[in-house]
Chain A
Amino acid sequence: MMWKSFLATWRAMLTDKGALTLLFIGGIIYSFFYPLPYSTEIVQRVPVAVVDQDRSAMSRQLTRFAMAHPSLQVIAVTPDLPVAQDLLWRDEVMGVLIIPDGLQTDVLAGRAAHAQVAGNGLYLMLNKVALNGLAEVVGTVSAGIELKRLGAGTPSGIQANEQRSPIAFDAVPLFNVKEGYGAYVVPGVATLIVQQTLLIGMTMLFGTWYQRKSFPVAGTRTAGGYMGMLLAFACVAFLNCCYFFGFVFWFQDYPRGGNFGGMLLLLVLFSLAEAAFGMLLGMLFRTRERGTQLMIATSMPVLFLAGLTWPVSSMPVVLQWLRWLLPSTAGIQGFVALNQMGASLYEIRHEVAGLLALLVACVALGWWRWRAETPAPIVQQR
C-alpha cells in the first residue's frame, strides 16, 4: 500500500503541469533570480557631498582625502547646506561632511574643533559606508595634526602613535569572512524557497484532488497510504535542498562549513517535517489556488520569524515560541549553522528537537485528518 501510494503521488506530481513547475522548476528559477541583486556583495563608491564653510587649507585637505577614499565618491563640494539637503532629498548623495567656518583657526589655536558627518539613516548599508568613510577621512587628517604635535616631544613616530591611541581595536569577521550581503541572506532564503514552493505545490495538488473528488490513492485511507504520500513529498524537499546546498552555494561561492553527516541528518528530518506539515495544510483547503494565495503572502513574515535578520531575543516572547510551529524556523537556523558555520549536531540540538517535535505533531494530526477523510463513496457503500 505504501509503495503504491508513493508511486501514485509521484505520478500525480509529474502529470500536473502547475505542481510540476512549482515543485521542480520554481526552485531552480529562484536560485538564480533571488541572489541576482546581491551579486556584487558589497557597496563601493557611495556618493557624498562636502559642505566646506571654512575654505581653508585644512578644509581643502579634508576634501582631498574624501575624494581619495576608496569607498566614497565626492560628487559635490559646496559652502551651502541647502544644496546638500537638496542632493540628499534627490537621493543623489547618501552622506555629507560638514566643515564649519573657523575649523582651521580653532585647530591652530589648540582649541577642539568639530566636523560633522551625516549619513542617510533610512538606507542602512549606505549610511554605514558613508559614516565610516567620512569618519575615517576626518580621523586621518586629525591624527596627522596630532602626530606632528606629539612628534615634537617624543623620540619616534611609532611611539607617538601608540600614545595617541592606547587600545588598538582589531575586528575580525568569522564564517562569512568576506561579509557579503548575498552570502548572508541567500542561504537562509534558500530553505524558505524550498519550503514555500513545496507548500504551494502540495496545497495545489490537494485542492485539485478535493475539487475533482479524485485522490491518487483510492479507497480506504490507510496508514501505508499516508506514509507513501509523505515519503513522496519528502523526496521533493530533499532533492530541492540538495540542489541548493550542493550546487547553488558552490556556484555562488557562499561560505560552506561542511558538516556533511549532520547536514544529511537534518535534511532527512526537515524533509519529513515539511511533507507532514504540507499534508496537514493541504487537507485544510478545498480549492486548487487557495494555498498559493496564502503562501505568497506569508513568505516575508515567515522569513523574518526565523531570526536570521533580526535577533530572536528582541522579538516578543509569544513570537519566540510561536515561530517554532513553522518548519522553516528550525530549518533556516539549523542549515545555516551546519552549512555556513560548520556546527556540530550538538550545537544544533534545539533545531533537531524542534523539527522532531513538529514532525511528530504534524504526523499525528495529519494521520487523524487523513483517516477522518476516508472518501465519501466508500462511506455510502457501507
Chain B
Amino acid sequence: MNEADKEPVSALAREWRRLRGDFWDFGMLSWIPVVLCGMLWLVFSAGIARDLPIVVIDNDNSTLSRQLTRWLDASPGIKVAAKVASSDEALHRLRERTAFGYLLIPNDFEQKLLGGRQATVQWLYNAQFSSHAGALLRDVRTVSTTLSAGIEMTARAKKGMSGVQAAAQFEPIRTTLNSLYNENISYEAFLTLALMPAMLQIFIVVAVVTSIGRELRDGTAPQWLASASGSWLRAIGAKLLFPLIAYCVLALLYLLFFSLARGWAVAGSLPALLLSMLLLVLAYCGLATLLIAATLSLRLALSGAAFITAPAFAFAGQAFPLMAMPAPARAWAEALPLTHYLQLQTKYWLAGAPWRYGVQEMLILAGIAIGCGAVGVFLLARRANAPAAWGRT
C-alpha cells in the first residue's frame, strides 16, 4: 500500500499510535484529569464546613453566659473546643490553628442583662483564614442575636405585653435573608462546580500544545504534514480531534456527576449549557494552537500554558469579583475564555437562566475559538515546515 492510499486516515492513525505509545500523554487525556478533579471534589465534598473549633473566655460564668456557650456548641458550624482563662491562651490557640476565633464574655454579663442594660460580647477571629472566619462569624452572630431577642421578649412579657404583640413591637420590619440559587452557601455549588472547568482548560491547553509541540521539537513536522497529504487543516485537525473528544467526554462526565449523583440539577437551559461546554473546549483548542504556533517551541508554549491557565481561576471572577478588580486585571480576565464560560455555567446550571441570557458570552467564546484557531493554523502553515522551527527545547 502506498502513502497516498491511506492518507485520509493516517494522520489520525499516526496520532492515535503516538498517544497509545505514551503512557503519560495518554493519561493526560484520560485518568489523570479524572483523578485530579476527583481529588478536588473530595476536598470540598462536605459542602458546608461543620464544627469549626473556637474557644470561649467566660469571665462571667453565670447561667446566661453558660447558656450562650452551650448554644454556640450546639450550632452545627461551631465546636467550642475549650474554655480558656485569658486572651493569651486564646491567641495561642489561634496561632496554633486549633481554634479560629474566640468569644469574650464580660464579667458583668448577666448582671447587666438582668438589670435591663446592654452587655457587649466580643468576637475576635482569625481573619487570615478568611473562609473559616466568614462561616464562623455568621453562626456566632446568629446565636448571640437569638439569645438577645429571647431576653428582650422576656423583658416585654414582664411588662405585660402578649407574645405576639411583643414580637411585632420589637422588630417592626423583619428581614428574610435569602442566598439565591445556593441556599446554604454550599462550597460544592459555588466552588467545586467552577473548579472543574478551571482544571479542564489546563488539560486542554497542555495536551494540544504537547501534541503539536512534539512534532516541532523532534523535527517530524514533514512526516506529520505528509500523513495528512499536505493539508495543514487536516494535520492540525488530527491533532485536535483526540483532545477534543476526550475533554468533551470529561465535561459531560462532570455534568452528569454533579447533576445526577450530587443533585445539582441543571436549572436553566440544558442545550445552552452543553453548547457552552463545547465552546469552552473549542476556545482552548484554538488558544493552544495559537500558543504553539506563535512560539514554535514546546517548552515556551508549556510555560505560556502555565502562565495563562494555572492562575486563570484567580482572574475568573468567581472567588473574587470582576467588578472589584483593577482595569489591567479586568482586561486580562475578559481575555480568558474561562471567565466567560464560568458566567455561562453559573447562569445556565444553577441560576436557571433561559438560553438567551448567554448569547453574548457564547459569541465571545466562539470568536476566541475561531480567531485564535485561524491565526494558529495560518502561522503553523507558514512556519512549521521549515528546519528553523524544529528542535527548539
Contacts and interface: CB of A to CB of B under 8 A. Distances in A.
B178 to A, nearest CB: 4
- Among B32, B50, B96, find the residue whose CB has the most chain A CB atoms closer than 10 A: B96
Contacts of A183: 128
Interface stretch (B10-18, B288-296, B302-310, B367-375): B302-310
B132 interface: yes
Given A122-B350, A288-B393, A341-B95, A103 B173 contact: yes
A28 interface: no
Contacts of B147: 167
Contacts of B328: 36
B378 interface: no
Interface in A331-363: 333, 336-337, 340-344, 347-348
A376 interface: no
Contact of B303 (A22, A185, A301): A22
A177 B121 CA distance: 19
Interface string B321-346: 10111101100110000000001001
Interface stretch (B194-202, B225-233, B237-245): B194-202
Contacts of A181: 130, 320
Interface in A293-334: 293-301, 304-305, 308-311, 313-316, 319, 333
A129 to B, nearest CB: 9
A116 interface: yes
Given A33-B311, A341-B95, A300 B199 contact: yes
B94 A293 contact: no
B206 A297 contact: yes
A175 B24 contact: no
Contacts of A115: 173-176
Nearest to A167: B148
A88 B180 CA distance: 10
Interface of B: 24, 28, 32-33, 36, 39-40, 42-46, 48-53, 91-92, 94-97, 113, 116-134, 137, 141, 144-145, 147-148, 151-152, 155, 165, 167-183, 185, 187, 189-190, 195, 198-199, 202-203, 206, 210, 213, 298-299, 302-303, 305-307, 309-311, 313-315, 317-321, 323-326, 328-329, 332-333, 343, 346-347, 350-351, 353, 357, 393
Interface of A: 18, 21-22, 26, 29-30, 33-34, 36-40, 42-44, 46-47, 88-91, 103, 107, 110-128, 131, 134-135, 138-139, 141-142, 145-146, 149, 161-177, 179, 181, 183-185, 187, 196, 200, 204, 208, 255, 285, 288-290, 292-301, 304-305, 308-311, 313-316, 319, 333, 336-337, 340-344, 347-348
Given A22-B303, A163-B155, A288-B299, 19 more contacts: A37-B315, A90-B357, A118-B177, A118-B180, A121-B183, A126-B321, A135-B175, A161-B118, A165-B148, A169-B121, A170-B123, A184-B129, A296-B306, A297-B32, A300-B40, A305-B43, A315-B42, A319-B43, A342-B95
The 10 closest A-B pairs by CB, nearest first: A121-B179, A121-B182, A173-B127, A167-B148, A162-B118, A176-B127, A343-B95, A142-B173, A37-B329, A118-B178
